[in-house]
Chain A
Amino acid sequence: MEVTLFIHAADDAFRILENAKVQAVGLLDTATRLTSETRWMEEKKVQGILKGAQATRSGFQNFFATFVMLLAFWALLSGKFDTFHLSLGVICSLIVAYLSHDLLFANVRVGDGRVIAQRFLFYIPWLLREIVTANFYVAYLALSPRMPIDPQIITFRTKLESDISWVALANSITLTPGTITIDIENREFIVHALDRKVAGDLDTGEMEDRVAHIFMEADHIYIQDVLDVSRVFAALKRGM
């Protein structure tokens, strides 16, 4: 009797597990489809924006964005908000924006600026932590009597595309433990590393993935995308 009960229980358990697996597979399918759909939509949007930007390249939008940024900077510098000084600020910002409206936003890959800014803000704490680690590493090396360093030069190819993401990656490499960017020659980063170990750390490409994620480049899976999928799941659950 007990045996039959046990078998029944085991059967039930298996069925539940099976069910759960089917459901999970279904959910995962939905999620993949959703992400690919959203990615497609995002790409469509980016292409639309790109087309629009090409139509009005070096046109009024760039000029206006530059002007607003410069005016904010002026207000920060001046700190005098009476009419006279504000009008001076408007005139100066207009002059500088006219002279350099195609400098500030030249060949930036046009994505959703808001998303880039948001992701960049989330990138900064991680970068700060890395910088502090880097500085303790340098302090340890500088203060240790034996100075255990073994410098070497490594090169790697990058999959990033736009110049601004190259700059972000290069400066991040310079600021993180034991590595400085020496040169970029047709997509090859030449990096001077203090140690064999930090060179290996760089080769894992975590930082590159993070930078690629910020500027919405390349198409591979990032850690953040997994988080996005979990957000989609939550939305689905609420919808059910």
Chain B
Amino acid sequence: MGYIIAALSVVCLLGGLFFFATATIGLLRFPDFFTRLHATGKGDTLAVFLCLIGFAIHEGLSLTAMKIVVIAVFMFLAQPTATHAISRAGIRHGLKPWVKGEERQ
């Protein structure tokens, strides 16, 4: 049983690390601000979620695990909202979205 829990936790954490890595590569490689937000907005949400779930599984059924779940729920609501807020500020500020064929910014 202990092995299964450890394996689940390891799988979740590795998945989180993988999505963090792809989000970072996307943030570095995508051509403009809005496409970069795609990378961080989605990638970081799932990555944080997976990492926190991994920690919670490792922790077992305890108060700390519940707190980790609370953080996960918070991030789940807050991350898309923050992404939306920045993108909205960008478009109101007058940033032009990149279209196919342009130079990357």
Q: Which residues of A contact B (CB under 8 A)?
A: 76-77, 79, 131-132, 134-135, 138-139, 141-143, 147, 149-153, 170-171, 174-175, 178, 180-183, 190, 192, 194
Contacts and interface: CB of A to CB of B under 8 A. Distances in A.
Contact of A134 (B32, B42, B83): B42
Contacts of A149: 30-31, 35, 100
B67 A77 contact: yes
Given A151-B99, A180-B38, A194-B38, A142 B22 contact: yes
B34 to A, nearest CB: 5
Given A131-B42, A142-B22, A192-B34, A170 B84 contact: yes
A160 to B, nearest CB: 16
A93 to B, nearest CB: 16
A87 to B, nearest CB: 19
Given A174-B84, A180-B34, A138 B23 contact: yes
| Contact count band on B | 35 or more
Contacts of B87: 180-182, 192
A181 B84 CA distance: 6
Contact of A135 (B22, B29, B32, B99): B22
Interface of B: 18-19, 22-23, 25-26, 29-32, 34-35, 37-39, 41-43, 45-47, 63, 66-67, 70, 77, 80-81, 83-84, 87-88, 91-92, 97-100
Contacts of A131: 42, 45-46
Contacts of A152: 97, 99
Contacts, number: 100
Contacts of B100: 149-151
Contacts of A174: 41-42, 80, 83-84
A151 B98 contact: yes
A182 B93 CA distance: 12
Given A170-B84, A175-B42, A180-B38, 8 more contacts: A76-B63, A77-B67, A131-B42, A135-B43, A138-B42, A141-B30, A142-B30, A149-B31
A174 B22 CA distance: 17
Contacts of A76: 63, 66-67, 70
Nearest to A176: B42
A150 B36 CA distance: 14
Nearest to B44: A135
Contacts of B92: 183
B83 A180 contact: yes
Nearest to B63: A79
A240 to B, nearest CB: 45
A79 B46 CA distance: 28
B89 to A, nearest CB: 10
Nearest to A79: B63
Contacts of B47: 135
Contacts of B98: 151
